[in-house]
Amino acid sequence: MKNFWGFLVLFSLMQGVHAQSRKHQYRKDRYFFGINMGMGFTQPVLDERFSLLEATPQSTKEDYEKQYGNLFQNSGGIYGLHASFAFTPQFSIISQPCFQTQRYSYMNSYHWSDTIMGGEVYKEFLHRQKISSVRIPFLLRFDFSRLRFSPFLQTGISADIAYFASKQVFEDNYIDNDVDRKSATSSSVAEFTPHLNRFNVALLGGGGISYYREHVAFSISGTLSYNMRTSINEFDRYADYTGMATEYLDVQDKFNLLSLNILATVMVPLHKKW
Amino acid sequence: MKRSILTLILGVVLGLFSCEKPDKSSLPFVKIYDDQNGNRSFSPLSMTKATVDNGYFVLSAYDGWRIHLMKMDKDGNFEWNLELPEQYVNAVPSLLNINQQLYLVCMDPLELDARILRIDENSRQVIQISHLEEVSYPLHAYYNGTDLYLMSCPLSSQMTVIHQVSQALDTVVRVGALSISANVDDLLLKHVMHTGKQYPFFIQSTPEKDYFAVNAFYNYSFSTVFFDSDLQFSGVYNGAAMDGGISSLHPLGSNTFALARTSGENVFMNPKAVLNPSAIAMATSIEAQGDAELNHTLPTIIRQMTILGKNYLAFLASSRSNQLVLKLYDESGKKVKSTYLSKNVPIEACDMVFTPYGELLMLAKVRIMGSYNRIGSIKLSRSSLVKLVEGE
């Protein structure tokens, strides 16, 4: 119910701004070009789990499911260009081709008993993956106002081309859901690219606010992005390109990446008046 | 402008969804089967297809000569396992499909004679169906489609014996024997208890069923002896004392064999060697291509398979640098591909099966975390095999 009232207030404000904007038009140009920078947060959305180590009745665990970090534990950078074309003062199409880095991490742990020596062996691993890609999005943007400050909503699709991915594993000998990267033993950084579906399509949706001046415009946007294809190539899931599969008992799950991208954009208009 | 942008977007979307769909019914996998007991060490011995479904059975030795049986599904997922009671030890490395029933042959640790056990796949247990008092220290079992043959090497006898077992699997009906002329008890005990060198004992029959090739101790050496169909000695390819000789043999017909042999510390392979079953010769006289990276102490497995309607021979061996090496040869004996599987952990090839779905399923011993020997299975899918032979 709280959400409903919140939405109603927000919608009323938007409508107010929209009504006001009919009187004062600050956005006079159809073409804008610019640059953008920002950061993204990434979360795998799991479809199917895989494990290289198969649990048996003689295992300590019933399964070896990975524990993924949350969205805000996996940050990456974004930088690129901005181009937009306005069909009307409030309705435009936007492309923001950019380089982006997505990270995701997960943990797993194993335990064996050494019954002769009376010792216990504990292993906890933190797996960190980084995917660098070129993203070419096309968004339809609706501005609620023609004022200097203009909130907007946008939606669209994006073509993502992953050109490099890497992976590193950190390990310690305590199972406490925490692997300190500073003190843990780490593997070398291995290339992970061949495991990926290199081409992906993402659905985008979000909003933000723009500020228009005569010769420059700024915007801050937040966009949710959901990759429609799974990130890992099913045929190469178990191929040990990193050399870490049997060494760290690692195989990637089947998942789609969900990202929240926060972008700051500086644009200049081409002065082609309405 | 608007139209061109919309056309571009439409083109991208159509392009994405018009790609050829790959075959997802056969996906590769790597599986390692866990046991939290760090002291337990597994040595996989043999793998065969289940008769009641599409899964596979894996026979292994653990804690020396104890016997472990495991069932997995066609995707390598664990289904169930069974540790056989202590009254059954020393399973020979052969899971036998006899008239759509699975059997294994092992030994009683006190009586030292062979026991034949039937695997009841539905009730998940084994049932002893016979014991053969005259077969002591069984080493290998072979079913040629009509008869079961067992190899044994009784302690202190200095003899290798081949036994033909009756159709009811309860008596020995024919015997062939070889004199070793040397005491091999120490080597034999280390072999059966998995505490020393594992010898590649085998019995194979030619497709014409006119000869048996038997890899066994014979005449101061570990040799490949040919018997005729009446289990009478015919010829021999002698190994170099107790080291070296033929380590793997796959009969192709017309006295042609795919084989691997060891000499010194090297492994040599020949996908199309012509052997004379009546010859008395040295195994080193068989022409073969050497491969210095392979570990000569570990087995080489040879299987025939079909990819895109063509026959190939697959040789699976273990390298000295902890990788499996898979070599594919075409019918003419030409090598078409050599590829490496796994990295960075000690791994040994144990068995290999070409599945009814055109996949290659491999059984391996994997030492995980640098400490624990575990059962591992690796499957190459149909499309992986096609890529291999097409050189992609």
- Tens digit of pLDDT for each residue in B335-386? 999 999 988 899 999 999 999 999 999 999 999 988 899 999 999 999 999 9
Q: Which of B5, B30, B75 to mutate to test the interface with A (most CBs of A within 10 A)?
A: B30
What confidence score (pLDDT) does residue A68 get? 94
Give Cα separations from A248 to A18, A106, A186, A271, B77 (angstroms).
56, 13, 11, 58, 19
Taking the CB of residue A117, how many other CB atoms lie within 10 A of it? 10
Taking residues B168-178, report their average pLDDT. Answer: 94
Q: Looking at the partner chain, which of B27, B343, B372 has a beta carbon nearest the beta carbon of A112?
A: B372
Chain B residues near residue A157 by CB distance under 8 angstroms: 9, 12-13
Phi and psi at B285, nearest 5°, equal -80, -10
Q: Do A54 and B33 touch (CB under 8 A)?
A: yes
Counting one residue from A and one from B, how many pairs have CB atoms under 8 Å apart? 114
| A235–B381 CB contact, under 8 Å | yes
Statement: residue B191 has pLDDT above 70: yes
Chain B contacts in chain A segment 14-73 (CB below 8 A): 52-60
B61 near B67, Cβ under 8 Å? yes
Of A54, A119, A245, the CB nearest to B78: A54
- Give the pLDDT score at B356: 92
Tell me the DSSP string of chain A.
-HHHHHHHHHHHHHHHHHHHHTT-----EEEEEEEEEEEEEEEEEEEE---SEEP-TTSSSS----EE--GGGSEEEEEEEEEEEEEETTEEEEE--EEEEEEEEEEEEEEEEETTTTEEEEEEEEEEEEEEEEEEEEEEEEES-SSSEEEEEEEEEEEEEEEEEEEEEEEES--SS---TTTSEEPPPEE-GGGB-SEEEEEEEEEEEEEE-SS-EEEEEEEEEEESS-SB-GGGSS--SSS-HHHHT--PPEEEEEEEEEEEEEEEEEEEE-
Interface pTM (ipTM) of the complex? Answer: 0.86
Does A122 contact B at CB distance below 8 Å?
Answer: no
Point out the residues of chain A with pLDDT beneath 70.
1-27, 116-118, 271-274
Instruction: Give how far B63 is from chain A: nearest CA, Å.
Output: 13
The CATH number covering residue A238 comes to: 2.40.160.20
Helices (H), chain B: 2-17, 185-192, 382-390
Q: For A119, which residue in chain B has the nearest alpha carbon? A: B38
State whether A238 and B345 contact (CB < 8 Å): no
pLDDT over 90 at B272, yes or no: yes
Q: Which domain holds residue A94?
A: 2-273
- Taking 60 as the threshold, does the pLDDT of residue B6 lie above it? no
Mean pLDDT, all residues of chain B: 92
pLDDT score recorded for residue A115: 72
pLDDT value of residue B53: 93
Domain count, chain A: 1
